[in-house]
Amino acid sequence: MSKTAITPTRTENYPQWYQQVIIAADLAENSPVRGCMVIKPWGYALWELIQQDLDRRIKETGHVNAYFPLLIPVSFLEKEAQHVSGFAKECAVVTHHRLKADDQGKLIPDGELEEPFVIRPTSETIIGEMYAKWVQSYRDLPILINQWANVMRWEMRTRLFLRTSEFLWQEGHTAHATAQEAITETMTMLQVYHDFAKDFLAIPVIMGCKPITERFPGAQDTYTIEALMQDGKALQAGTSHFMGQNFAQASDIQFLNQQGEREYAWTTSWGVTTRLIGALIMSHSDDDGLVLPPAVAPHQIIILPIFRNAEEERLVLEYCENLKKTLVQQLFKENKLRVHIDKRDMRGGEKNWQWVKKGIPLRIEIGPRDIAQGTIMVARRDRAPQDKISMSQSELMAQCVSFLEQIQDGLLKKAQAHYANHIKNIHSLEEFEAFFGKEDNEQAQAPGFARCFIADKMEIADILKKYRVTQRCIPLNNNEYGRCIFTGQENAPIMLLAKAY
């Protein structure tokens, strides 16, 4: 049996494999603060690239960035009953504004606030308060604002990048003069997320509308992009919400329309989080570690110089520097190649394996013998670690961008094939139980998406708890209706069901 860099493997213990990939790639670790993580430089470099590309896409659709306070008065949350009930159990509350030392020198809270603050779980209420000041006339609309921020939602069971008490995200909040404008905005941003996931992260996603049990608290409609991980579980990768006039009424966002009449604005919100890094890991990585699509790789090419003494070191490093200068002039997805030379004093095999586990798309090994022979050893992360190609520098220059394109496209096609093999049409309760199992078993294998007729009713969520299955979405452009496999109701829509993170 061949040895892998990550143990246990995906088939042996998927949750532990996921944790070990994060450790091996040096992405993040648990912090001293319960439920929170420290995102290490390699993990944060992924987030920076996600942020840069997505920020460009957001701005291309006419949005601008701003920043709003971390602390939200409790009274703001109370204005929207559904909203506060949806987040009440997850809120971290600030009740004092200073500390003082007791007789033993222990610090204790002092100076109780007149009104407590909540550390933002999301910013609809405080942004709505500001929009109410800024919007007076239809001429002030639309407002198209996004913010990059951190939020806190108190979690009992945490997992790095997937569910932590504090996480990073972007949250867009817009206000419009008409319902149709707001609906168009909601769908525009959903499409932005879909295209970003597919083209940048090489993750295929399904766009759909959340059933009533899964809507964002206070929203009129919630739309989602759903991804399917290698273990057959679904992951909500991003959401876009049409708020109707609910939050405008709660925050009193009113304006004079063109007829001189006062009416409430129509609002939206939408966001993605550092959960995308978790999706990236679970969509592409293997039993040797992280696998990165070149678009999101902090280093797309790593150059590994090999030498035994000072004279060889000078010769090899000079060659590597010149090679790097040439490589970085080439473009992948309209950006210069990101190339790094690893000059650390470390054994070549150990150094090579570190970069395999970090997911670098292309590794280049260069030693004195290679220079003398005019060859370069090239390894691709989408192939076996020992699979190396010998080529000349001119061949490398001609093919390196093509290699990156092949890796990017290949990862997407592999993920798409995984989807196609893990979506099943279900026509009866018997087929459903054969697909997911009859019992509430947390360790049961997740088979993928079940596509079946399900009534969009509150009681469905309670029925599904028995199976540890959740309603993921009603796919967009759904034109199929039939008898609900649970309630027997006619004209039930097609819905995707899955075990999920």
| 280 & 309 share domain | no
- The pTM of this model reads 0.96
Tell me, yes or no, whether 6 lies in a domain.
no
Residues 435, 412: one domain? no
Residue pointed to by tokens 């319960």: 34
- What is the DSSP secondary-structure string of 439-469? S--TTSPP--EEEEE----THHHHHHHTTT-
Residues 52 and 192 in one domain: yes
Tokens encoding 64: 């601008």
Residues 334 and 433 in one domain: no
Residue 289 within any structural domain of the chain: no
Residue 260 has pLDDT above 50, yes or no: yes
User: What is the domain-level CATH number for residue 234?
Assistant: 3.30.930.10
pLDDT band at 82 (very low <50, low <70, confident <90, very high): confident
Return the pLDDT at 216.
93
Q: How many CA atoms lie within 13 A of 387 on its CB side?
A: 6
Number of structural domains, the chain? 3
Amino acid of residue 451: R
**Exposure pattern of 367-389 as b/e (b: 16+ CB <10 Å)?**
bbebbeeebbbbbbbbeebeebe
The residue from 284, 307, 328 where one domain ends is 284
The verdict on residue 245 lying in a domain is: yes
Contact 149, 171 (CB under 8 A): yes
Tell me the residue type at 42: W
Give me the chain's average pLDDT, please.
96
Separation CA 130–CA 252 (nearest Å):
10
**pLDDT for 21-62, tens place per residue?**
999 999 999 999 999 999 999 999 999 999 999 999 999 999
Report whether pLDDT(84) > 90.
no
- Residue 181 pLDDT grade (very low, low, confident, very high; cuts 50, 70, 90): very high
In a domain, 110, yes or no: no
- pLDDT surpasses 80 at 443: no
Distance CA 357, CA 24 (A): 6
**Strand (E) or helix (H) holding 266:** strand 266-273
Q: Same structural domain for residues 266 and 305?
A: no
Q: What is the pLDDT at residue 86?
A: 82
Beta bridge partner(s), residue 149: 169
Per the CB < 8 A criterion, the answer to whether 203 and 281 are in contact is no
| Band of pLDDT at residue 478, cut at 50, 70 and 90 | confident
**pLDDT tens for each residue of 334-391:** 999 999 999 998 888 999 999 999 999 999 999 999 999 999 999 999 999 999 999 9
Burial class (CB in 10 A: 0-12, 13-18, 19+), 89: exposed
428 and 410: one domain? no
Full residue range of the structural domain in which residue 457 is found: 424-498
Looking at the fold, whether 27 and 174 belong to one and the same domain comes out as: yes
In the numeric block, the tokens 């190339």 are attached to 339
**pLDDT of amino acid 87:** 83
pLDDT of res. 440: 64
Same structural domain for residues 219 and 304? no
270 and 156 assigned to the same domain: yes
Cβ 274 vs Cβ 167: under 8 Å: yes
Which strand (E) or helix (H) includes residue 487?
none
Of 242, 271, 214, nearest to 473 (Cα)? 214
pLDDT at residue 1 in the model: 47
> Among residues of the chain, what percentage have pLDDT more than 90?
93
Which of 419, 448, 481 corresponds to the end of one domain?
A: 419
Residues 226 and 166 in one domain: yes
pLDDT band at 442 (very low <50, low <70, confident <90, very high): low
Tell me: do 364 and 479 sit in the same domain.
no
* CA 167 vs CA 17, 37, 51, 112, 314: distances in Å: 22, 8, 14, 27, 45
pLDDT mean over 75-99: 89
Last residue of a domain, one of 240, 258, 284: 284
Whether 338 is covered by a domain: the verdict is yes
Confidence of residue 156 (pLDDT cuts 50, 70, 90): confident
Would the pLDDT of 438 be above 90?
no
**Continuous segment of H or E residues that includes residue 365:** strand 362-366
Parallel, antiparallel or unpaired: strands 301-305 and 362-366? parallel
Per DSSP, the residues of 107-163 read EEEEEEEEEEEEE-S--HHHHHHHHHHH--BGGG--EEEEEEEEEE---SS-BTTTB
CA distance 10 to 15: 8
218 shares a domain with 193: yes
